[in-house]
Amino acid sequence: MDLWELRRLPAGAVTLRDGGSDTHRTVHLESFEIGVFAVTEEQLAEVIGVPAQHPRRPARELSWYRAIRFCNAASEWEGLDPAYSVDGEDVTWHVDSDGYRLPSEAEWEYACRAGATGPHYGPLPDVAWTALDGVAHPQDVGMKLPNLHGLFDTLGNVWEWCWDLVDPERNDHRVFRGGGFADGAWDVRASVRRGADPRSHHDDVGMRLARGATAAAAGRA
């Protein structure tokens, strides 16, 4: 199992639904790469020296800002151009960078769905760790079935930070997607969007790496 493996997805389009405003929008995406697995405690330890108590579990308790800094640290570790410039709490995404970054919300949903049009890409007990499993913490990555893109745990286990703002007109909260180990089927769906203060951290929110940005991927940010 190569935890750093990324899968290149073809260009395509995805229609995003915002339940709060009951609106839909279609985003056209160019080809990009996204992690086969969520970032693990082992990867966090390897790059920034945080002790890994459970190496193969998804890294969590990560604020959005820490996820951004991890992306840059991982890029520098591999000799890539960092995707972000950080000035205090101001973050600029350099869309022509070859470094690691967070997926946009549109990229995330496109990657998660893998062509599926329903709320899940397979029977939920087979593809996602949720409240149905009765677990008290995230499980090792890659233990359930992948989607048709070959990506594991895009639903369930931990939510995953995206680049986008939840609502640019209201606050600076950032989106996370996918549902977590303690969530029920209603929350663990490809279309569900949640968000939080980018300074906050949660025991069921982690991240997944992407590469190959284009301006069209930037979504709501």
CA–CA distance, 26 with 69 (Å, rounded to integer): 30
CA–CA distance, 82 with 167 (Å, rounded to integer): 26
In a domain, 1, yes or no: no
In a domain, 41, yes or no: yes
In tens, the pLDDT along 133-172 reads 999 999 999 999 999 999 999 999 999 999 999 999 899 9
In a domain, 14, yes or no: yes
Backbone angles phi, psi at 84, to 5 degrees: -125, 145
Confidence of residue 216 (pLDDT cuts 50, 70, 90): very low
In a domain, 26, yes or no: yes
Domain harbouring 68, CATH code: 3.90.1580.10
What is the per-residue pLDDT for 17?
Answer: 78
Confidence of residue 6 (pLDDT cuts 50, 70, 90): very high
Domain assignment of residue 42, given as a range: 6-218
User: How many domains, the chain?
Assistant: 1
Percent of the chain with pLDDT over 70: 94
pLDDT at 218 over 50: no
